Structure 1
Amino acid sequence: MGKIGIYGSSFDPITNVHLWTASTVAHRCKLDKVIFLPCSNKRKDKQMNTKDEHRWNMVQLAIKDNERFIADNYEMLQDAWKISTYETLKYFKQKYKNDEIYFIMGADLLIDIGEGRWGNSELLVKENKFIVMARDGIDMVKAISKSPILRNNDDGNTFHLIDKGLSMEISSTYIREEFKLGGEPRYLLPGKCYEYCINHDLYK
């Protein structure tokens, strides 16, 4: 049995911090694979800044040389009404029946789930396992204890909390702003992705 982490994000664009985070989580949690799962443009709760095609191409370019990283466009191919983390994890648990599946997320999303803002929040927690990365100002243990959804569906193995050494502040938003305003984000994202953004005139 292997251990697989599902790393969902807009990746708009994918950054070196995304790669470093995935690598660090894989190392600390002994994951065999990390699946990079770009969000779909069809999602109603997110506003993308470029087409699915470009974000998908950049993710593939970014992870190409790491055999532990996989890209999957499952959510991009779904109808809008079918896109939810609960349904997505059901799909991956079916696809990798013999492996343990973990959803990788930041502590800010833990709070959102705990407050019932995600579809099927209670079943999502009850039926899945999570690797939760620290975010500045968020007490993850307190967030779990304060939420009936989180605390009552935690069997002791539901949440793997990573609270040290994962705080890096370079975001996709920062990179987009640099491109838009004529800055120089060259070393904040993989070199091939930087070139891709330049060649396709993205984020201007």
Structure 2
Amino acid sequence: MEARRVGIFGGSFDPVHNAHVALARLALAHLALDRVVWIPAGQPWQKARRLAPAEHRLAMVRAAVADEPRFEVDDCEIRRAGPSYTLDTVKELRERWPGVQEWFLILGQDQYAALSTWHGWRELLQCVTLAVAGREGCEPAQPEALRSVPHRLHTLPLPPLPVSSTLVRQRRAAGLDIVALVPPAVASYIDCHRLYLTE
């Protein structure tokens, strides 16, 4: 991969929605990234609920990002056995692409707040620069556990977007329209495969 600055954007993406795409596009522009690698989680160890099958979540992400050549979808966590740990993913990507000079881990505010609960989080902070979506243009609040741990942080000024995967699933289960919440190709995929008809 010919790239020097690469963003890693992981998540369950159940389903991927417009705010995900907006955050990834913002990261591309704001951080002058050469590429953003989207990584749908295989077995998110902190998720209690049952996810849509991995092949569907992967296909939806591919559909959502198909029109941006600097977006790449990687299925390494889906292929990897066991829980999906971000640290393992970062190590795998760094081995695969040794020419990358800086890796950015793209996060939402909630993920940043809970980072100290992640597997190997201290080591993870040494491997990546965090790129955190600030709510309503504000700097993300630094979690107490991270204050004594040196780490690199960029704020992504993401405007408020009233959409979440939970909202998409709820509206779909209630028989309501989701076209305004997800990319058109994702809405078509969800409809075609009859996903999220129950929540």
TM-score (norm 1): 0.86
CA distance in 2, matches of 1:30, 1:4: 9
Determine which structure has the larger helix proportion and give its number.
Answer: 1
Judge conservation of contact 1:75–1:88 (CA < 8 Å) in 2: yes
Retained in 1: the 8 A contact 2:7–2:106? yes
Task: Name the structure 2 match of 1:84.
Answer: 85
The residue aligned with 1:97 is: 98
**Equivalent residue for 2:161, pick from 160, 165, 168:** 168
Task: Calculate the aligned-residue CA RMSD, in Å.
Answer: 2.0
Counterpart residue identity of residue 189, structure 2: Y
The corresponding residue for 1:50 is: 52
Pick one of 73, 76, 85 that aligns with 2:75: 73
Confirm or deny: 8 A CA contact 1:133 1:166 kept in the other structure: no
Contact 2:132 2:154 in 1 (8 A): yes
Match of 2:75, SS?
A: coil
Tell me what 1:16 maps to.
Answer: 18
| CA displacement at 1:135 relative to structure 2 | 3.6
How many Å apart are 1:97 and its aligned residue?
Answer: 0.9
TM superposition shift of 1:150: 4.5
User: Could you tell me which residue of structure 2 aligns to residue 179 of structure 1?
Assistant: 172
Equivalent pairs counted in the alignment come to 193
Per the TM alignment, residue 51 of structure 1 is displaced from its structure 2 partner at its CA by 0.5
- Tell me the equivalent position of 1:197: 190
In the TM superposition, residue 48 of structure 1 has moved relative to its aligned partner by 4.1
Letter in 1 for 2:118: W
**Partner SS state of residue 166, structure 2:** helix
- 3-state SS of the aligned residue for 1:134? strand
Identity %: 26
CA contact (8 A) 1:122 1:153 kept: no
Do 1:21 and 1:166's aligned partners in 2 also have CA atoms closer than 8 Å?
no
Q: Does 1:143 align with 2:142?
A: yes
Residue 177 (structure 2) pairs with residue 153 (structure 1)? no
The TM-score normalised by the length of structure 2 is 0.88
**Structure 2 CA distance, aligned partners of 1:84 and 1:200?**
29
Query: Aligned-pair distance for 1:16?
Result: 1.6
Name the residue aligned to 1:121.
121
CA gap of 1:9–1:48, structure 2 versus 1, over 3 A, is farther
- The answer to whether the 8 A contact 1:108-1:135 is kept is no
